Amino acid sequence: MILKASQRSGAKQLGQHLLKTEENEHVEIHEISGFLSDDLMGAMKEARALSLGTKCKQHLFSVSLNPPSAESVRSEVFEGACNMIEERLGLKGQPRMIVFHEKEGRRHAHAVWSRIDADTMTAKPLPFFKRKLNDIAKQLYLENGWSMPDGFRDPKLRDPRSFTLEDWQQAKRAGLDAREVKATIQECWAKSDGGPAFAKALEERGLFLAQGDRRGHVAMSIEGSVFPISRMVDRKSKEVTARLGDPKDLRTVEQTARYIGETIAPRLSRYITEAKRVAANSMKPLTEQKLAMQTLHQQERKLLADKQRERHLAEQKARSERLRTGAKGVWDVLTGRYFKVRKQNEMEAFFGVQRDRAQRHDLISAQLKDRQSLQIQIVAQRERNARQVLGLYRDAAQYRRVMQDGRFDLDRSDQPRVIPPRGPELGR
């Protein structure tokens, strides 16, 4: 189970994020304990109000718990992980919230603790919490028999194409897939031994080396999106400069934008726009299917919850009728019958809760399998769309070389011909 955590403030913003249904298909508030309020935003306000009596600026501790996407993980496993975190980090007894999110066929949890000790009005210290959480994560993989990621066994084996939220959002605005962009730039970096070779390799893939405003060397797309080279290749700026040369020798971002606009964009922008339109249309049926599945799953969960609630009330009524009142009740206490019946009721109530949890888990597991099957189709379509757009970027670089350098390719009759830019590869 991957554990990512941070000490933070912004209780209102965190609460709104945890309740956000735009990005998450299902949101379930699993637990709110240690607070007077029984709703999430109310608990967040309590945590914030308590922190005002201290000097603590980061009064919350937030942890995301991400099990392997292919595993069916019970709520008890998440609760056990949270208890282990409390024990190791010294948060035992602190108020906490647990929220489940489901997105793209993956179920994960967010746990939030208040760091403020109400008795001493001080914040609980959390030294080396990242190292401790890493140890807990490894233990959870071993205890549950999950396949441990390579990065846990050896940090050097981490996926080199991992990207930050900023990378993803920037690539998303450009209409490209962040992993494809990062992999493309890393590929150019690996096979280039200097600035000119690197710039040429980028241009063959529709990206242009330029001088950035703050980050030195950047790669720029023909739509004006900028990707810092140092972050894309996971190198320090000094290493990038030593290999590629002084970025001041390159065109600035503004000059590169003008260059792209004058030579490439007018002829290819309509093709890229068309490719994105086709990509959006190709995703519509899958998106509609996803929304329909989401609605169906929500209805199934509500129906199960209603039936379990009715059964719980009926069973509770039956148990309460076993406890006699009046003179018969006094006699039951004297003879010990009352305590036997009460023990029986407690056991039945406990097993009833476990039964309801198991039923809900089975339903969610079945729904997740359906959603994961659909997600495979969605991911495949996204990758096809990304390859198509990146192909158009490569076409842009080829067209620029033909127009500027007068370079021609030969056809089978050995007659020179210009290779025109391809339109969207609709049949592929």
How do residues 20-37 score in pLDDT, each as one tens digit?
A: 888 888 999 999 999 998
Same domain for 212 and 254, yes or no, is yes
Contact 96, 141 (CB under 8 A): no
Query: For 153-171, what is each residue's pLDDT tens digit?
Result: 655 545 555 656 566 556 6
**140 pLDDT above the threshold of 70:** yes
Same domain for 21 and 79, yes or no, is yes
Same domain for 64 and 143, yes or no, is yes
- Please compute the mean of the pLDDT values over residues 380-400 and round it to a whole number: 73
Same domain for 222 and 324, yes or no, is no
Same domain for 284 and 393, yes or no, is yes
**pLDDT of amino acid 132:** 92
Same domain for 140 and 248, yes or no, is no
Same domain for 141 and 207, yes or no, is no
Give me the amino acid identity at 189.
W
- Per-residue confidence band for 306, with pLDDT thresholds at 50, 70 and 90: very high
What is the Cα–Cα distance from 226 to 217, expressed in whole angstroms? 10
Structure tokens at 383: 């990758």
| Percent residues over pLDDT 70 in the chain | 82
Q: Mark which of 118, 133, 157 sits at the end of a domain.
A: 157
Same domain for 294 and 235, yes or no, is no
**247 pLDDT above the threshold of 60:** yes
Q: Is residue 422 part of a domain?
A: no
**pLDDT of amino acid 351:** 92
Count of CB atoms within 10 A of residue 371's CB? 22
Instruction: Say which residue, 385 or 136, is predicted with more confidence.
Output: 136
Same domain for 115 and 23, yes or no, is yes
Same domain for 185 and 232, yes or no, is yes
Q: Mark which of 103, 123, 157 sits at the end of a domain.
A: 157
Q: Is residue 425 part of a domain?
A: no
Q: Is residue 235 part of a domain?
A: yes
**pLDDT of amino acid 264:** 67
**119 pLDDT above the threshold of 70:** yes
- Please compute the mean of the pLDDT values over residues 141-162 and round it to a whole number: 68
Q: Is residue 419 part of a domain?
A: no
What is the Cα–Cα distance from 416 to 395, expressed in whole angstroms? 18
Q: Residue 331's domain spans which residues?
A: 271-405
- Per-residue confidence band for 309, with pLDDT thresholds at 50, 70 and 90: very high
- Per-residue confidence band for 307, with pLDDT thresholds at 50, 70 and 90: very high
**pLDDT of amino acid 41:** 92
Q: Is residue 423 part of a domain?
A: no
Query: For 324-345, what is each residue's pLDDT tens digit?
Result: 888 888 898 888 988 998 999 9
Query: For 251-286, what is each residue's pLDDT tens digit?
Result: 888 787 777 766 666 666 677 777 778 888 888 888
Contact 385, 424 (CB under 8 A): no
Same domain for 129 and 146, yes or no, is yes
Count of CB atoms within 10 A of residue 188's CB? 24
**pLDDT of amino acid 413:** 36
97: domain CATH number is 3.30.930.30
User: Does pTM top 0.75 for this prediction?
Assistant: no
- Please compute the mean of the pLDDT values over residues 44-70 and round it to a whole number: 90
**pLDDT of amino acid 163:** 58
Same domain for 169 and 293, yes or no, is no
Number of structural domains in the chain: 3
**pLDDT of amino acid 360:** 92
Q: Mark which of 238, 263, 288 sits at the end of a domain.
A: 263
**pLDDT of amino acid 221:** 79
**405 pLDDT above the threshold of 60:** no
Taking all residues of the chain, what is their mean pLDDT, rounded to a whole number? 82
Distances, alpha carbon 29 to alpha carbons 283, 326, 334, 338, 350, in Å = 31, 42, 44, 37, 21
